[in-house]
Structure 1
Amino acid sequence: MIKQNVFIINFNSLYEILYEIKENLFFEIIKYENESDFIKDTGLNIENSLIVMKSNSKLLNKNIDEKNFFNIGIFPLPFKKLLELINIELIKLKFNHQSKIYINGYELNLNSKFFSKDDLSLKLTEKEVAIILYLSDAKKKHSVSDLQKNIWRYSLDIETHTVETHIYRLRKKITDKFKDKNFILSHKDGYFIE
């Protein structure tokens, strides 16, 4: 499981508390002394990350999405409550992040598994979502054996028909619904999404 990041800006006491138990946390903690260092370092690339500041601090940079920002109102507060608040915010952030993923003009909602474009939408299976995400993630061609290994977790000596059948059915669903024959492309080196 990939850990989410929690950026702590100008809040040394919170960082020190969390640092003591960092091995037990489900998120990574990263400390910044001030907002300008944070912005310079991250370049505002904070997708799926939480920014934590004290209640009397203000987020000066307007380019930071409000949903990534968490301001702790009352401090000190019970430690268990603090972790609970941070975890709730991270869950909300992850849910929001998974709500809309854009791939070649389509919107993929990982929470509902709907694939949409314009006013049309298509319900996908878990495996179809995994195929689309995998093919779109690395801009390269994926062989049948690569898909077997990374999507189905099969060994390389298993029949290849499973992968080919799933790809065929997914392409057909997309073609029938959106009239798009070029969403998943095939090449002698494998399948890919441009």
Structure 2
Amino acid sequence: MQSVFIINFNSLYEILDEIKDNLSFKIIKFENEEDFQKNLDLDIVDYLVISKTNHKLLQNNNITNQNLLEFNDLPLSLKKLLEVINIKLIKLKFNQQSKTIIKGYELNLNSKFFSKDGLKLKLTEKEIEIILYLNNKKIQRNVADLQKNIWGYSANMETHTVETHIYRLRKKISDFFKDEKFILSHKNGYFID
């Protein structure tokens, strides 16, 4: 879930906190920029910052205009505010999905292209899910785990679907990029090293 960090803007936080169950994003309040700096979870990459104070400190901490929401036209209705926040979050998500680096390859989730050294290979949605799942886990994943988490099947179902998809994806990458070691297999399962 995307996050909106509200810095030194208590009134806005209180309004959004009252309707938080209806929001498509998580809100987190910081008293000031220093508090934000100290407590920011660096693992969170999908966020927007709303601050009432000077933005120089934020910009000095690698908060770009892409992640910063400034209000130029005040006052703003709640409906318009939520619209502005949601549009900004959608743009952030789109930009993040347009370039994911995995083992030297660039994966564009928007166009579904997998590329390296000027070569572009079109992937299916399922192939992208497999790559992202194997890459995010950094450990070997067996067929039952892939069945459950990619296909939503129970462990007692036929395993050929997973093995066939993995085989075809590995062959596709091997044939196109001449890389036979992108997805590796081990007795315990598949992984991306």
Letter in 2 for 1:86: I
Deviations 1:77-129 (A, max 9, x none): 11110111011111111111111111111111111110011101100000000
In 2, the alpha carbon distance for the partners of 1:188 and 1:87 equals: 45
Letter in 1 for 2:30: Y
In 1, the alpha carbon distance for the partners of 2:44 and 2:134 equals: 24
Deviation at 1:57, TM superposition (A): 2.8
Aligned counterpart for 2:28 among listed residues 8, 15, 30: 30
Aligned counterpart for 1:42 among listed residues 40, 43, 48: 40
Q: Does 1:182 align with 2:181?
A: yes
Letter in 2 for 1:117: K
Moved more, 71-80 or 102-111: 71-80
Letter in 2 for 1:164: E
Deviation at 1:75, TM superposition (A): 2.7
In 2, the alpha carbon distance for the partners of 1:135 and 1:129 equals: 10
Structure 2 residues without counterparts, runs of 5 or longer: none
Contact 1:171/1:181, CA 8 A, preserved across alignment: yes
Contact 1:10/1:33, CA 8 A, preserved across alignment: yes
1:147 corresponds in structure 2 to 146
Residue 183 of structure 1: SS of its match in structure 2? coil
Residue 50 of structure 1: SS of its match in structure 2? strand
Contact 1:44/1:64, CA 8 A, preserved across alignment: no
Q: Does 1:171 align with 2:170?
A: yes
In 1, the alpha carbon distance for the partners of 2:91 and 2:65 equals: 12
Distance 1:126 1:43, change over 3 A: closer
1:104 corresponds in structure 2 to 103
Distance 1:38 1:171, change over 3 A: same
Residue 140 of structure 1: SS of its match in structure 2? coil
2:12 corresponds in structure 1 to 14
CA RMSD of aligned residues (A): 1.3
In 2, the alpha carbon distance for the partners of 1:190 and 1:44 equals: 31
- 1:31-180 counterparts in 2 under 5 A? 31-42=29-40, 44-54=42-52, 57-61=54-58, 62=60, 63-180=62-179
The count of aligned residue pairs is 191
Structure 1 residues without counterparts, runs of 5 or longer: none
What TM-score results when the alignment is normalised by the length of structure 1?
A: 0.94
In 2, the alpha carbon distance for the partners of 1:144 and 1:16 equals: 47
